[in-house]
Chain A
C-alpha cells in the first residue's frame, strides 16, 4: 500500500459503455483514479461515494449504508440528486458492496475530528490519515445516526455538485457560451438565450476529460429542490407485497438449515453434548459442537430447531452461575461507594465540593436502569457458503466491511476471496453491528460443501444478545436559597458511547461528572442511542426533582437553566406549546417534559400519562425536534416516531434480568413489546434551525423515559427512579 499523503479528492472518469462516474474519494499517491475497476467491482477502488450517469440520462447513486428502515437509500440519493439537479424520476440507487472503497471516509473523519476546525495546511495529511483510520477499523457502519450528517453532507452532496459542474463546463465549451448563461434542471442543460437544451448524458464523454472541481459549490437551503421534501422511500413498495429480501429470505441451491444454541451463562463453553436422541431425528444432517455454541444442521429449519431442543448440553462453569440481577446492581453501588467520590472524569467545571459547602442545601437521589435486549423483528440469521478457498456470506449487517475483514482473518482467507452480500435488515437498533452471528454461520458452513442458512430462535435472539447495560447513577446537587442548582455532582457506572452522553444541557457553574465500573459477565452492546438512553432518563428525571424541590414548574425551571442556549429553549418551548403545557388535567392524568441533545439533534418531548388503570398508559406524546435541517421531513418524522415507541417500550416494560447467571427472559411473552392498543398518539414538530445537521435514527429515543417518569410524578406525586415504569404502582405498597 502506498503512502496516504494527499488530500481527499473528487475523481471522475468515463467507464464502460459511456458511463460518467464522479466520486468523492481519496487518492493513493498516484494521479489516475482507477474508476473502471471500481465499476466492474474488482481491482483497486479508491472512491467511496459516487454517482453514475448513463447514456440514457439515468443517474445512479451508490449508497455505502445499510437499509434497516431508516430510509437511507432515499435520503442519500435525494441529497446527491438535488445538488446535481437531476430528474428524480430517472434517479435510482445501488447499495455499495462491502469493500474498502466504501469505508465511511466522511464518517471516520467526523468521528475523530468532530467540530474541530483544522487549519488548511494540515488538512491534506489529516484527510489521508483519517481515511486510513476509517479503513483500518473497517468502518462501513450504519449506526450512530451518521448517514445524513456525515456521508450525506460530506459525500453525496459533493459528488452530485461536482458532477453537475463538470457537465456545465462541458456544455459551455461545446456550445461556446459562458457557463454562467447555462441553467440545469431535471438532468438537462439549458441555454435559454439560444433555446438550446440537451440531456446531461450528451456531455458525459466531454465532461470526463476535465479534472473535477476541487471545491464544488453547494446549494444554499433556498436553492434546494429535493432536499427538504418528503420524497417517498424507494424501499417501501417491496415491503408491502412480500418481495423485499431480508437475510432470512436468502435461498440457495442445495442449502441446508441450522439451528443454534449458545451458553445460558454467557462466556461458558460446551463440556459435553449428548445427541443420542437428537441424532436420529428426522431431517438431521449433522450435529456440531463448536465449543462456544452448538449447531444442528438439518434439511429444514423446523427439523433443526426441534432436534436442538432435544440435545443434552453441559456447559463449563465460569463462576457466574451464582450471579443474580440484585448482585449486579449491588456491585455497581459498591463500586460507586468504594470510589470515594473519585472516578474517571467526564466533566469537571468549577469546584463542586466548595459549592456544595456553600449551598443552602444539598439534594441527592439515585437512579438505575435494567439490561435491555434489542429484539429486532427479524431474528438474527446469516447464510454462508464456504468452498474452494472462497467464502460467501449473506446477512443483514450494520457493518459489512468489518465482518468481511473478520471472516478473512479468522478463517485465513484473503479478503478478496470473501464476499459479503448485503440484504435488507429486519431491524438493527445496534444489534446488527455485532459480528458474532455471521461468524457463527461461517463456522457452521465450514463443515459442508453446500450453503447453510443459520437462523436463531427468538429465544436465542433474546438471550444471546449484547445488552444495553444495566447501570446506576447517583446525583448530588447543591441548591441556592431559591432552589436553583449551584453544583451538579454525578457518579455513574457503565461508561460506553458516545462520550458526551453524560453531559447536561443546563448551565450550572460547578459540575463534576464521573464514572466508575463494576465487573460483570453480561456483554455490552450498542442499543438505539447507546448511553443516551440511560443518561437521558437519569439527568432529565433528576432535574425534574430539583424543580420540585424549588417548588417550580419543570418546564419553567429548565428554561431558567437554558438562557445560554436559544436553540435548546426554542425546542423546549415548541414541545410545551404543542402540548398546551400548564392546562388543567382530569384526575389521574399528568404531563411530563424532557429535553435531550443527542447525535446533533435536540429533542424535547411532553408525555401525557393516564394512571387510572392498573398500568401507566401514555395517551399522547408531543415532540419538537431540531436536526438543523430535515432532508426528508416525513422520513425524519417517521424516525422520531419510531425512536419514541422504541424508547417507550423499554421504559414501560423492558426488563432483562439475570438469574443464576443466565438471562431469565426468552420471548415476547416474558419480554413484552408495546402493541398498537398501547401506542400513544404522537405529534412531531420539526425545527429547521440551520444548525449543523444532526441525526434522525436515535435522537427520538432518549427523552421519552424521563418525560414519562416526570408525567407519572405530576399525576401521582410518586417519583420513579428505576425502570420499567408500567407497573410502578406495584412498588408503592
Chain B
C-alpha cells in the first residue's frame, strides 16, 4: 500500500491507501474529518467540495494521488485558528441558511473560494461559482443573500 503525504488544514498527514482512492473517503474514514459529505460520487452535487491548493474540487472524484504534496482545506479548517468563524460561516448563521444542513459544508467551501478570488461577486458570478452545489432543501435564496452579506463583512 502506497504512502501519500499531504497537508490537511495546515497539518502534515501521511496516509497509507491505494492512491486511486477518492480523497473524500480518505478524509472521512482515515482522517476522521466527517464534515465533508458524500452525495453522488460523480462530481454532480458538490457536497464533497474541499480546497486543494486553494481551488475548490469535488473530493469524491479527486484521487488521493492528486492531493500528494498539496494543501487540502476542509470545512473543519475554515474558521480561524482561535475558533473565530469565517465570515461566510457567520453569514450562514445570520441568514439561517441551513435546513437539513447536509450540503452546507460543500456550499460553504464553494462560497469561501468564490469570495477569496472575487470579493464583490455579481449575481452571475455567484451562479457560476455555486451552480455545482445542489441543495435539496432549496436554500438558494438564502445562500445568495449570505454570500452578499459576507462580501460586505
List chain A positions with a Cβ less than 8 A from chain B: 68-71, 232-233, 235-246, 248-249, 251, 257, 282, 300-302, 305, 375-379, 424-429, 455, 457-458, 634-635, 638-639, 641-646, 649, 667-669, 673-677, 679, 681-682
Contacts and interface: CB of A to CB of B under 8 A. Distances in A.
Contacts of B100: 68-69, 376-378, 424-428
Contacts of B47: 377
Nearest to A426: B102
Given A243-B35, A249-B34, A644-B138, A424 B75 contact: no
Main secondary structure of the interface of A (DSSP, over half): loop
B33 A242 contact: yes
Interface string B63-82: 00000000000111011000
B121 to A, nearest CB: 12
Given A455-B38, A458-B40, 12 more contacts: A69-B100, A236-B93, A239-B101, A240-B85, A240-B104, A240-B108, A248-B38, A377-B102, A426-B100, A634-B96, A642-B138, A674-B140
A577 B14 CA distance: 62
Contacts of A425: 100
B132 to A, nearest CB: 8
A676 B126 contact: yes
A249 B102 CA distance: 11
Contacts of A243: 35
Most chain A CB within 10 A, of B37, B76, B79, B138, is at B138
A378 B37 contact: yes
B1 to A, nearest CB: 9
Contacts of B22: 302
B29 A376 contact: no
Contacts of A676: 126-127, 130-131, 133, 135, 140, 143-144
Contact of A377 (B18, B41, B132, B134): B134
Interface string B90-114: 0011001111111111001000000
Contacts of A248: 34, 37-38
Contacts of B37: 246, 248, 377-378, 426
Contacts of A302: 21-22, 25
B74 to A, nearest CB: 7
B96 to A, nearest CB: 6
Contacts of A245: 34
A637 B117 CA distance: 32
B76 A242 contact: yes
Contacts of A376: 100, 102, 136
Contacts of A236: 92-93, 96-98, 101
Contacts of A377: 37, 39, 45, 47, 100, 102-103, 134-137
A248 B102 CA distance: 10
Contacts of A241: 35, 75-76, 78-79, 85, 89
